[in-house]
Structures are given as C-alpha cells and as structure tokens.
Chains A and B, each alone.
Chain A
C-alpha cells in the first residue's frame, strides 16, 4: 500500500484575478481530496496558496523572500481537515508569484521525502498566470526556471500546470502573459504537463483527481514478421472509472461493538430444480451448454483439454486504408502501444511506422494475445499517434475490432426510398445546415467545449459531494447537480441565446406533431419547452429553475457560498412550510449585501448580479414585488453610502429594473411604487448623468421605469 502512496502539493493562486474562479478551484480540489480519502487513504497532500496578504512558509524564515506564499497545510496523510481547508480557500489580495510558490512547494516536498518516493511526487499548479513574476537576484528568469525544472527532475517530481484562460481577461498585460507562458513551457518540457482551460467546466476536468498507477497489459514483441520484431509495451489508454461499489450494511451488530464491520456476507446454496430439498455442493456443479433443446454438461477439465489456446504475442496482419475501418466498429476501451522505454531503436521503429502510416492515411490490423493462457485472440487496429511534444515518443492507439459473429446484419430502409413527406425540402435542409454549423462547440480561436479530456464525470462528482455532505450530516439529502457541471448535461444557455434566431428558424422549418393514432405513453413526448423567458437578462435563471425541478428535490436550508442562486431557488420553492419564502428572500438579500460589500475591484459583482436577478425572479413568482423594489432602492443607497457607485453602474448597464405591474399584477401598490421610483431616480440619475455623455440613451433605459407608474 504505502509503496504506492503519492505525495502531492497543491499550489493554488488565490490572487485577486483568480477570485471569480476560486469556487471552482475549491470544488475540484475538494473532489481530489475526497477521492483520495477513498482510493488513496495513504497518500499525502499539502497545500500552498499564493497571492495572500500574509506570508507563512519555511523558506521565508530560513532564507527570506518568498512573500505572499502561505502554506495552508503541510504534507500530511489525507483527512477530513484537508477537505475543510480546500473548501474555504483564502481570498488573497496581492498578485502572487507562481515561481516562488512552486519553489516553496518543492521545498516542502524535498524536506518531507528527501530522495525517497521517486516518481510519486507531484506538484499541482493552478493559476491564470497573468501577473508578473519577480526578477531573480541573479541571472535571468529563464535560467531560474531551468534550475527549478532541473531540480524537479533530479528529485523525481512531476508537475501538472493548469492555466486558466478566461474569456474576459480584463486588463491583462499581453507581455506578462507571454512571458509566463514561456516560463511554464520550459517547466512543462521537462517533466510536467500543462493544460489551458477556458471554462469552469474544463477546470473541473483538468485536475487529475485520481492517481492510478498504470500497469502494462503486455510487454514483448510486436511481430511485423517472424524475423522483424519490435519491443513494445501496451497500456490502457481509457478505462472507465466506475461508480464506487458500495457495501451492503448490516445493522445487526450491537452499537457497543466498536469493531463491527457491519458488512454482509452473501452465501449461495445450490438446489436441484426437480427436488428442491436436495442441496448440491458447489464443487459438484458442472457447467452445461445448450445444444439445441439439450444441455450438454462439460466439465472445466474437459474444456481445458480441448479449448482454443492461442500463443502469446502480437502479430501484424497487414496495413489497410484508414477508411476501411469505420469509427463505430471500435469495440471497447482503448490501449496505447509504446516502444519499450529506453530502447532507442524500438522507439525509432515505432516512430517510422506511425509517421509513415499517418502520412499515407493507413492503419495496421493486428492480432494480439496479451497473456499466455488467454481465452481468445483480440483483433484490432493500430492508428498512429504522432507526438507533438519533443519529449514524448510517437506511439499507436489500439482499438479492438469485431469478429464476424459480432456484427449483426440488420437491414434498414434507405433514406432515399422513404416517402417524400419524410424528405427534407431545400429550405429545411438549409435550416439544418445552419444549425449544424452555428451550434458550434469548437469556435475558431477558442477552446474546444466539452473536450472529453477536460470533462469531468458529473455523476461521480455528485456522489463524492454527497458523501462529504453526509459525513457532516448523515441525514443530508442528495445535492442538486452543480451549476458548472450542468453545462455537460444540458445545452449551454449562452450558446443557445447566441443562436436563438437559427434555432427559431430550424423550429419553424419543420413540423413536428404527436402521432394522433397513438394515445398512450404521452409521458415520453416532448418535455415542455422551458418557457419564454421574460427579458434576456433572466434567461439563465429561467433555465436553471426548470432544471432543478427535474433533477432533484432537495431540502436546502441556507444559502451557501458556492451556489447561492441554486440554493435560493431550492429554498424558495420549498413548500413544506410558508416560512421558507420569506426566509429565502431575506437570506438572499443579506447575501447580496455581503457580496457587494466584500468585493474587491468588482470581482463579485457578477455573482451579486446573478443573485439579484434570481431574487427578482423569485419575487415575481411569489408576487412580492415590493420586497424586491424596496431592496433595489436600499441596495443603491447602500452603494452610494459606501462609495461603491460602480455597482450601481453595473446594475444600470445590465438593465436591472424594478418589478412592474404587468409582472406582478396582484400585489402592486401604485402609490408606493411611484414614491419609490422618485426616490430611486433622485438617487441614481445625477450619478449617471455626471458620468455619461449620452443622456438620451439613459433616458431610454430608464423609460420603462418612468412609464409604469403613469399608467
């Protein structure tokens, strides 16, 4: 066990520019810790934050420097405290230097392990790398980085860098970014990996949360012919991470028994079908195989004597055009063929073959028997995997292909033979073309959305979160699916909004109706469309609301930090007591105040805005317009008092309006509203007028506000 334990130091940027992302960082780090608590109980984890106002690390004491780097936790065996630490990362106030932090992390690692644990030491850097690093005392930054990389290598450490590149990189200095990229590339060229992520979803997928030490499934010759052999190693490239299998619980043990395992044993008893009273001992069983209506008993000894026994080995059958092997024939998880490490000639041979195959667009068909005594041969296809990184040799992907018996020759009607009513006309085809083109998950110049390599498994994430909640409160219910992960299970509302016209056109082009002849199973017919969302600004909230309904009923009791909007929605829709509505509204208001008050250069404004929109929607739904309108006024006033005027601007520029009569007709008090409006204009308008030159536009923006009371 202990032999495989991993030593890991998380090096996390908590500087101001990272604040918006820290909730996601917290999530992914917690997930890592939670998984380790199950799969790697002996792994040791430390955590370092940089960009903090404080400084707390050994190096600063020993040699000085290394400011703004805080060791959150020394390298220790994973435990619940680690989860606590990672769940509430500090919000730093200065721009940190990632090189300093890396050195601190390395120092912790070296002090802890010395020369032991080689190859099991990992540093994980999460940063957006937009702030400059300090100049070293001597030499250039490049030299310094090279020294760091060399040190890392000599100590057998690896580093994963996750560099977050958000779309709105405010006022980032291009030069700094380029320099940092360059420095990180030097590091990653040695013994680490570097990934760039743009979205929160990919950030959750980028960190390798579970460390599995891979084992080869085959080591030996790859026979091109009986005379020409290449030494290869074969690993699994993909392998499904399964949902953990839980044990069955027995409550029979007395509560006083501290050593009770609570496990349940399963026992099998075999009985003759004809005479159920007769028990057959397990070793007296024999396998029977169907042959027509009969069953032929064949003992395993008999089988062993006659069954197919292929010789271990990997043999080439030949090459063929890549187009002859269609993608959908890949049968299982994928393997990777690499040349025997350290065997230069083998690496060259694999490199030559894979490069030639890639150029000619060919694939190789091979026959594999991984182990002696394997029950069957595996037939598959090798496709070239030409490496783009200098330090990684070329290799092959291996996919298993079906045998004749595995392909079922079902016939399906040709599309061209279908009646013309089922054939799309020109207009419909055009609408489809547009949809396929515009609903793009790989827009030019941007990150590929939902790249499998960076997409976490939402089910596992939810399980581990639920596990953590239950460990704190055994009665905790299953949490709703994380907002960030909802981008995996549901279409991105932003993308849909951008392509509203295209989708609308597509919808209009085709006529879909329920088959009138079928009455049953209407349940399965189309989900009710998510409704026309009032106002564009609220679209996101509306979708989320619908989604919570079908994914989960949860009993949320307070509004937390990570998903205030979600918590609020869950809370306000609780129907088990009338208090919940008012409690939800009140907590949300407090939350918004807190967010606005505690913001640093506006970093929480977006979140506060989202909360405000949710509150507005909630107030409309609950017919409590006054609550929101009063609150909006108070909020504006509050901002002015605290000199947080920019939030008022932010709200104005995002068209946050008072709730009008049409939206909440039942409980609308005209006089109060008018009064409120006057106060609000008095408060807001001068401030806006002084700042903006375009007065008519502001008037237009305020127009809906003005109009309502006049009615």
Chain B
C-alpha cells in the first residue's frame, strides 16, 4: 500500500535501503505513575515563567511533551498513564485509589495515539470532576494506595516478555513519607508489603524510577522511605536527585528524532591476501533521515489505497505481463539484454571486500566522496580470529596514517572503497566515535568532473590573493571560530517543522507551531565589534573602498548585456503591441493570421511564456484574455 509510483522504477536500487527501514524492534513499555494526592495540588513551585504551578501540573507538563516526542521517535513503544491516590477507581483489579487513564480504541498499555495525547492535554480541567483527588493511606483503613498503584502498574506491564521489552515504571510524587499518617505495627506492616510489592515487580524485570518533586523549603527526603522501595544504597542515593533533575529536563526538551535500533546491514568477508579472509559486520551509522513512509489515501474516504501496475505495449496497446527483456538503442538498433545478462555485467567481482593495498591518508581527497559512509567492525561469529586481525590492521593504519583501498563487489554497486580507521573517542557522556573503520565509497574517473578548468579561457593567469589579503582573512577566521563545533549539532529544520506540523494537524492544535531554525547564522555573534571590524578589514583589503559598486558592477559584464537585450525586446514589443486591436482579432478568430513574431509581442508585453507552436501561442493568448 505504500508504493509510490515514482519509487518503483528508481534505478539506483541501493541494496542497503531495505535495511534502513524500521521494524518492530525491541520495545519499551512504560507506566507513568502519578501521585494525585491533595498534597500534589496544594504545593506549588515556581515555573519557568514565574508562575505558581502545582506539583501535579509539573508532572503533567513533563509527561505531555514526552508523549509527543515518543509518538514520533519510537511510536511502537507502549505506554500507560496511571494516577493513584484518587477518589474514583478504574483498573483491572478494581483496586481502591488507582485510576488508569485511557481513551477509547486503545488498550490500557498500548502505543500512544493522537487521541490519548489530546485528552491527556486537558485532563487537568476535568480531573476533580472525573477522577478526583483523595489521599489513600489513612489510619483506620487497610487501604494502601501506593501498594495498589504498584500492583496495578505491574499488572499493566504483564504483557510481553521481559526479554523483548524493556519495562519501566516512572513514579511522580512529592510525598517522601507516604505512611506518615499511620503508626505502629500497621505502618511497619504496610511498609513491608509495599516494599515487597516493589521488589516483586523488580524481580519480574520491571525497573522503577522515582521522579521526586520538592520545594526549596521542604526537601524530598529519599532515605525516609523510597530508598528502601527502590533498593538504593550509598552513592546511588546521593545521585538520585541529580539524575531526576536531569531526567525532567530530558523529558521536556527532547528532540523529535526517529530512533533506529542498532542493526547490522550485512556481513561481508574481507579478503586481505591469499587465503587470509576475515569477517566484518557493516552498519549504517550516518544516513539522511526522511520524514517516514507515505501512505496513499483516498481523499474522499480517507481509507488506504494500493497501486496496481500494468504494462502496455506502446505500439499495439496490448496488455503485457512483466516484460522479460530490456533494450538499449545503439547505432539505431535495439540491443536486447536479459535481466540475467545485466546482472552478469555488474558482477565484476565476488560479493566480498578485496584488499588492494594501502595509501597515505593525504591521498584521500575531499572530493573523493559519493554517498554516506558505512561503518565496519569485525566479528568472530563465523571466522574466529577476525577481530584480532582487524585490531592489528586498525592500529597499524592509525599509527602509519594510512588507509586501505579495497574493492567492494556488491552485486548492484561494485565500487572502490577507502577504509579509514577511526579510533574510539570517549567523552564524559559516553562514546562519541566508536572504534572501527569507515568505508568511504570512492568515485571513478567517470564520476569526477573537471570544473576547475572550465573557465580557464577567460582567465589566462588567475588572480591570487596577496599576503596582506591572506592575513586579513587569517584574522577573520580567528574571530569567527566555532570552537565546540560538532558535526551533528544542528537539527534538521525541515524535518522538525514536518513533525511539528504533523503533530499540530493530528492533535487539531489551533496554532501552527513555530520551529526555530538553528541553522541560521548567529546574528549576535556576527554583530560583535571584533567580528565586524575583521570583516570590514577583509572587505577593504580585497575590494577596496567602493565595495557596493564593485560588487554590483562586477559580474554584470555578462548579465547586463543580456538584460539590455531583454529590455530592447520588451521595448520593441510594447511598440508593436499597440499596432493591433488584440481583442477584436481574437473575437473574429483572426489571430491565426498574424505571424508568430507578432503573436509574441502580445505574450512579451503580458509576461507570458513565448515558447511553443503557433497554436499554443494563440491558445495562450486566448486564455489570457479569458476567452
């Protein structure tokens, strides 16, 4: 159903493409467990825009953006929202004080839907009416809402095996001592059963994370109770808050970015020399992300449609089956090839990677590139010892500053490649560059164009910058230095816009969101006096005093001639145009008696295209007149 007619015949059948598409990967199952006790509503803290908001609102406003990104990034992950300490109850086990929030057409734990997000967005207004807040752990009753909540969450996460799914509970609360109201044996008992409940859940492979909400004057004391519940000790305990704070930020400001699970593209053999061959796995680490597959719908019913392809003989109009032969016109003859012959032609080598030799890194020029690179790492799965050989070569190549040239004999795109060793780079946040080799696809001589020589005839001796000019460029470069530049620091503005629009339309949001284009130059930075001065100096040094004039005058050598000519034509046309009574001619059908150049006067004057046959010109004129 996803066939796009333009796509079917695309010739560049990149064999790797099929591998980029997502599949039902290992998914994450997440239960948001939100405390809805009166304390969550009564305590407030300052939000970013200096307004008092309740902790409950803070929790909701954290979950909402997180849901919105999740539906784009990892839409196959499942999620449930569960409130506890509520007046009403709604859950499978019919436990008191637990309310599982859901919308129709959706299981309690399921993929997020637009409707879920939409209704969750306004849950706060209807909260007191429909769900209500009521603290569940009171003396005199045996009710334990926290216990119930954990139990309900655990029950929600029962589906799916722990092996294929990552199951988590995110607990939002501002009550560090949930059993504060209870005393004596009952308290001990309740605490014990609750902790046991949490432990059971953890034994089932469910991880519980706490996101404590606290006020400056009333710090959330993790060690009062939750440390035991989460099984935290020592260092972990100290870090819990810092982590939680980070977590809050992360959830709010996540970039919409489709996540791909790490999957190898394919396994290849790397033949080093006679009889030495190791096994490599290839990965697509850098690939342009597209907005995702399009499903064609019938605009009347909004139901999906499928495309059916049929072949017709252009000579006879007969319906054909899939044609067996292809042809190329050559010397005015149709030369036929079968599909087998074509693939035979492309099979210039076996589907392996053949090492051809090594070259110094300086031989790899900046213009030796055609496609995104592929990352290769060794694997001992089939050939034991591959990793050892690979590491040895990797180190040698790094040390000797050399890269390997190899021939990659893939069946559709046999190509010369450069294998560039990349050492591991680690920073505090983790691995920045993984260790391995990058396979860079090299162009053939047929793919390289000699543009530099194109304009040599106009410049017998090319001007070269003087020392002074280079020096002023030098100081400019020093001024505008992006010290911390990292290759992927910019989000794709079109893609972000796409996601934002999609979200707005799906959720019926009134306003079209405004996405910031991070790729625009830093205006403030460029306005710094130092930068401005350096720019002015370079300008003065190269262009002299009258930059504006020069810049306008230069390059106009050619264009001015063309524009003069254009102007002359239009002047002439205006003059000639006046000679005819166009409307009359059109009415009497006499336009066809005029010459093409006469017709063109009309078109020129009205800024219409002047190309085409006479009939086309006439019909264009008539259309323009509205006749």
Choose among B299, B384, B452, B512 the residue with the greatest number of A CB atoms under 10 Å from its CB. B452
Q: Which residue of B lies closest to A441 (CB)?
A: B357
Binds A, one of B50-58, B86-94, B127-135, B252-260: B252-260
Query: Counting CB contacts under 8 A, is A243 at the interface?
Result: yes
**Cβ–Cβ < 8 Å partners of B399 in chain A:** 433
- Main SS at interface, chain A: mixed
Known: A249-B323, A269-B310, A351-B464. A407 touches B543 (CB 8 A): no
How far does the alpha carbon of A385 sit from the alpha carbon of B451 in the complex, in Å?
12
- Which positions 438-485 of chain B face chain A at CB distance < 8 Å? 438, 440, 442-465, 469-474, 476-478, 480-483, 485
- Which positions 509-563 of chain B face chain A at CB distance < 8 Å? 512, 515, 517, 519-522, 525-526, 531-532, 535-536, 538-539, 541-544, 547, 550-551, 554-555, 557-558
Report whether A236 and B449 are in contact in the complex, using a CB–CB cutoff of 8 Å: yes
Q: Which residue of B lies closest to A295 (CB)?
A: B295
Q: Tell me how far the C-beta of A455 lies from the nearest C-beta in chain B, rounded to whole angstroms.
A: 6
Q: Tell me how far the C-beta of B456 lies from the nearest C-beta in chain A, rounded to whole angstroms.
A: 5
Q: Which residue of A lies closest to B316 (CB)?
A: A252
Interface residue total, chain A, C-beta cutoff 8 A? 223
Query: Counting CB contacts under 8 A, is B393 at the interface?
Result: yes
Binds B, one of A87-95, A172-180, A302-310: A302-310
B-facing mask of A243-279, CB < 8 A → 1, else 0?
1111111111100010011111111111111100000
Known: A214-B451, A316-B480. A450 touches B315 (CB 8 A): no
- Which positions 550-589 of chain B face chain A at CB distance < 8 Å? 550-551, 554-555, 557-558
**Interface band, chain B:** 35 or more
Query: Counting CB contacts under 8 A, is A459 at the interface?
Result: yes
Query: Counting CB contacts under 8 A, is A510 at the interface?
Result: yes
A-facing mask of B480-506, CB < 8 A → 1, else 0?
111101111111111101100111011
Report whether B535 and A247 are in contact in the complex, using a CB–CB cutoff of 8 Å: no
Report whether A436 and B358 are in contact in the complex, using a CB–CB cutoff of 8 Å: yes
Known: A238-B369, A319-B482, A324-B486. A490 touches B354 (CB 8 A): yes
Q: Tell me how far the C-beta of A276 lies from the nearest C-beta in chain B, rounded to whole angstroms.
A: 8
**Cβ–Cβ < 8 Å partners of B274 in chain A:** 496, 503, 507, 529-530
Report whether B434 and A410 are in contact in the complex, using a CB–CB cutoff of 8 Å: yes
Report whether A456 and B446 are in contact in the complex, using a CB–CB cutoff of 8 Å: yes
**Cβ–Cβ < 8 Å partners of A529 in chain B:** 274-275
Binds A, one of B28-36, B108-116, B218-226: B108-116
- The one of A156, A224, A293, A521 in contact with B111, judged by C-beta atoms closer than 8 angstroms, is A293
Report whether B310 and A267 are in contact in the complex, using a CB–CB cutoff of 8 Å: yes
Binds B, one of A61-69, A397-405, A630-638, A657-665: A397-405
- The one of A253, A269, A320 in contact with B315, judged by C-beta atoms closer than 8 angstroms, is A253
Report whether B458 and A341 are in contact in the complex, using a CB–CB cutoff of 8 Å: yes
- The one of B113, B258, B434, B482 in contact with A365, judged by C-beta atoms closer than 8 angstroms, is B482
Q: Tell me how far the C-beta of A660 lies from the nearest C-beta in chain B, rounded to whole angstroms.
A: 25
Binds B, one of A15-23, A43-51, A332-340: A332-340
- Which positions 504-518 of chain A face chain B at CB distance < 8 Å? 506-507, 510-515, 518
Q: Tell me how far the C-beta of B7 lies from the nearest C-beta in chain A, rounded to whole angstroms.
A: 12
Report whether B433 and A252 are in contact in the complex, using a CB–CB cutoff of 8 Å: no
Choose among B369, B380, B532, B554 the residue with the greatest number of A CB atoms under 10 Å from its CB. B369
Binds A, one of B336-344, B591-599, B605-613: B336-344
Q: Tell me how far the C-beta of B343 lies from the nearest C-beta in chain A, rounded to whole angstroms.
A: 10
Q: Tell me how far the C-beta of B352 lies from the nearest C-beta in chain A, rounded to whole angstroms.
A: 7
Report whether A442 and B359 are in contact in the complex, using a CB–CB cutoff of 8 Å: yes
Choose among A290, A326, A362 the residue with the greatest number of B CB atoms under 10 Å from its CB. A290
- The one of B363, B443, B478 in contact with A240, judged by C-beta atoms closer than 8 angstroms, is B443
Report whether A331 and B359 are in contact in the complex, using a CB–CB cutoff of 8 Å: no
Query: Counting CB contacts under 8 A, is A653 at the interface?
Result: no
Report whether A336 and B452 are in contact in the complex, using a CB–CB cutoff of 8 Å: yes
Report whether A349 and B543 are in contact in the complex, using a CB–CB cutoff of 8 Å: yes
Q: Tell me how far the C-beta of A419 lies from the nearest C-beta in chain B, rounded to whole angstroms.
A: 9
Q: Which residue of B lies closest to A317 (CB)?
A: B521
B-facing mask of A376-397, CB < 8 A → 1, else 0?
1101000101010011111101
Report whether B520 and A315 are in contact in the complex, using a CB–CB cutoff of 8 Å: yes
Report whether A403 and B446 are in contact in the complex, using a CB–CB cutoff of 8 Å: no
Report whether B554 and A298 are in contact in the complex, using a CB–CB cutoff of 8 Å: no
Binds B, one of A465-473, A671-679, A701-709: A465-473
Q: Tell me how far the C-beta of A238 lies from the nearest C-beta in chain B, rounded to whole angstroms.
A: 5
Query: Counting CB contacts under 8 A, is A667 at the interface?
Result: no
**Cβ–Cβ < 8 Å partners of B454 in chain A:** 214, 235
Binds B, one of A130-138, A203-211, A561-569, A643-651: A203-211
CB-defined A-B contacts under 8 Å, sample of 14: A231-B555, A240-B443, A248-B325, A272-B298, A327-B438, A328-B438, A349-B465, A351-B469, A406-B287, A410-B285, A433-B396, A460-B444, A512-B389, A515-B382
